[in-house]
Structure 1
């Protein structure tokens, strides 16, 4: 969601081309959540695969309700005080058919509601990677419902609402470096700490069970990410085209950087590394796609691929079990991309850039704004999520029991299995 929308006295006329573009991008971003479900499911053991997929799919349902009822209002209604949270004038999508407060949109407000909903869904679903293999389904549903209202919506207001305090402070975040990536990564760390590690971690090998499924998920994420970032221009024009190309090139850079380092460290370039590196690059370009030109995007992707691979080691050093490396990829990648704006932001790409990046002669001003956003988003998302998780652990409980974890989430939580194997007799075969 770009910050280029300015406060005007009269709403702009609806543009049918822009409207069609945003509706298409809404569908693309929605597809990213099933893509994430496959990406995550392939990386867990087979007995948890359906549980992983189900957490992403139920997030679509839960967040759609919370966003429509109250989340959208808290994020984009007129400020209720201090730039911290929106009011309640838009609760239940009341008055949502009129112009979004403070934004000069050329698409119907309800199209904007739907587009932003998909961001809220994906951000919540990302957190499930940190709690994989051990969280009760009912507890996950409750956690996501509360989290989407108390953590995601206020942070979206801070950054993307014209009244938000980080927006006013000069933070640039085109499509969610703070709101999506840093928020989900910091929240994932908090949830992982409250849950505790999986049984047997890190002594036991917990290798991915279906890497083709993970690669399919990565492909769907990459495909949808074009809509995620280019759609955040909110118009179908030059800015969207630049963001689309920057997004793709950063994904390419992330894959190259990750694989090159992996090959140097281990002697092998793995398929999981290729998928993870591409995602790291796509994460890093998310805040910057509409503020930097395409060639620096290739560089930020490569940097993210290298740094995020190194960051995976942190969980072993500090003994927190982030099952599917949400912190290493999404938090670290989000920080890289958000700060990178302070180096390469260009007014020639987006007139919303008031201070050129440091390496373009603009000094440290924008980098300072970006650093403030990183610190504020990190602290708020971590602290608020940690509190929510601790309260839920003390009341309804978060983890499955030891026997249920050993049995697997598919069976213990859903009474199903992802795969059915039938023994075939070889008697009577001809050779």
Structure 2
């Protein structure tokens, strides 16, 4: 508020204020009359500078997880002839998801409308968000989502976009080295709108799972289980790579994978601690839990690997690191550090078994273990959230149970599997999905993109 100068008399001030009020009363009234009404999900922005700064930083960190983190992590694990294609997939996914989020993904995930006909629940929109913000219509610099009144809505949109980007990017690891680029792009667009957006709404956007007490702090079900199950369906649908199980398929550059994994680890701080939405005590425990679980998972994966193969591999140690990160994600801001260590220690053996033993037993080709790490790790973490969630850490954990978590997982797995299968059918008969045998033998880099790495 502007202060009156000391030389200005009280009478002068009163006259000035009265005149100003009279002069601007009509325009102000007109502006109020023509100001757009807030949408159902919106409130007027009450800017929280500290929270906004933290989410600005977290948005950059989560985006770093996909570009270049996941791109390098996956790119180092494929054969040399498919490195460029694999890295390009992460960029293509990011581009398609960004536009899909702008057009309809955000409003389907976080839009709020009146209850569906015949529904008697307490939440406003139990199954899918409204269409009130198609193309981000109605979003302005002065609005906030009702979930986060201290954050500009544009910032909230951007932060949630980064979660939407990495989820289908994770799926690409399941069918690496054998999918058409056009098929991938169509699949990504449809999957974002028909699978990710509904599940995101069910858990985080006011839908029936979150309202029933299913807990997912940063994306155990919404991101990892969802992507892992979809990846498993994709791997089975497309079939194994040529020579899989008969010839050695070796990672061409574990050092690239190491760089990607480290970028993922750093970015995961924005993923988990950022999900507190403000730099408070919950963000702090989420950050610590993330590091503890990651290192615990890496250690126990190496122990199991040494017991079976007598040598700890770099790829194995990094896979265990990611397994720990995945498992702690749904619990990061809900459990104490002891619970985080237990979850991390359990993630290594569980994800190793899913990635090595179960895959070999069932003979499916999940190329880069999208299901083995993200699916199995996400399921483990979501279930253990129901065991270790503590109201002393986060009041939201009050009433958490294993049964609620299992029910939420069942719904997520069922929808992800069925909807993914339908989308694959659509893609198969439009763009096509699998490259030719010749292209697969030649390598996707040369065949799809006309680019190859320099000779080794």
Q: Same fold (TM over 0.5)?
A: yes
Larger Rg: 2
How do 1:89-128 residues align onto structure 2 when only pairs under 5 Å count?
89-97=132-140, 99=143, 102-128=146-172
Counterpart for residue 349 of structure 1: 393
For 1:379, the equivalent position in structure 2 comes to 414
Partner of 2:19: none
CA contact (8 A) 1:174 1:232 kept: yes
Taking structure 1 as reference, are residues 111 and 316 closer, same or farther at Cα in structure 2, changes over 3 Å only?
same
**Mapping of residues 131-150 of structure 1, within 5 Å:** 131-150=175-194
Q: Distance in 1 between matches of 2:126 and 2:397?
A: 21
Partner of 2:21: none
The 2-side partners of 1:9 and 1:254 are apart by: 40
The match for 1:246 is 289
Cα deviations by residue, 1:321-374 (Å, 9 ceiling, x for unpaired):
110111110000000110111111111111112225xxxxxxxxx111100111
1:227 aligns with one of 257, 263, 270: 270
Q: Show the counterpart of 2:80.
A: 46
Q: 2: CA distance between counterparts of 1:416 and 1:70?
A: 34
Q: Residues 8 and 109 of structure 1: is their aligned pair in 2 closer, same or farther, counting only changes over 3 Å?
A: closer
Of the candidates 19, 23, 31, which is equivalent to residue 52 of structure 2? 19
Compute the displacement of 1:235 (Å).
Answer: 0.6
The answer as to 2:373 corresponding to 1:329 is yes
Change (3 A) 1:379 1:93: same
237-246 or 95-104: bigger deviation: 95-104
Q: Counterpart in 1 of 2:97?
A: 63
In the alignment, the residues of structure 1 paired with residue 290 and residue 149 of structure 2 have an alpha-carbon distance, to the nearest angstrom, of 23
TM-score (norm 1): 0.91
Q: Which runs of 5+ in 2 are unaligned?
A: 1-39, 117-124
| Counterpart position of 1:29 | 62
Aligned 8 A contact 2:82 2:445 in 1: yes
Aligned to 1:415: 450
The superposition leaves residues 2-40 of structure 1 with CA deviations (integer Å, 9 ceiling, x where unpaired) of xxxxx9996572111110100000000000002111111
Give the deviation of 1:419 after TM superposition.
Answer: 2.7
CA distance in 1, matches of 2:138, 2:393: 34
**Which runs of 4 or more aligned residues in structure 1 lie more than 4 Å from their structure 2 counterparts after TM superposition?**
7-12, 98-102
Q: Deviations over 1:252-291 (max 9, x none)?
A: 1100110111111111111111100000000000100011
Contact 2:289 2:328 in 1 (8 A): yes
TM-score scaled by length of structure 2:
0.86
Residue 331 of structure 2 aligns to a residue whose secondary structure is coil
CA-CA distance at 1:180 after TM superposition: 0.2
Q: Which segment is superposed worse, 31-40 or 80-89?
A: 80-89
Deviation at 1:395, TM superposition (A): 2.6
* Residue 170 (structure 1) shift: 0.8
Over the residues paired in the alignment, what is the CA RMSD in angstroms?
1.6
Deviation at 1:83, TM superposition (A): 1.0
Describe how 1:193-232 pairs up with structure 2 within 5 A: 193-232=236-275
Unmatched segments (≥5 aa) in structure 1 = 1-6, 357-365, 422-431
- Alignment length, in residue pairs? 405
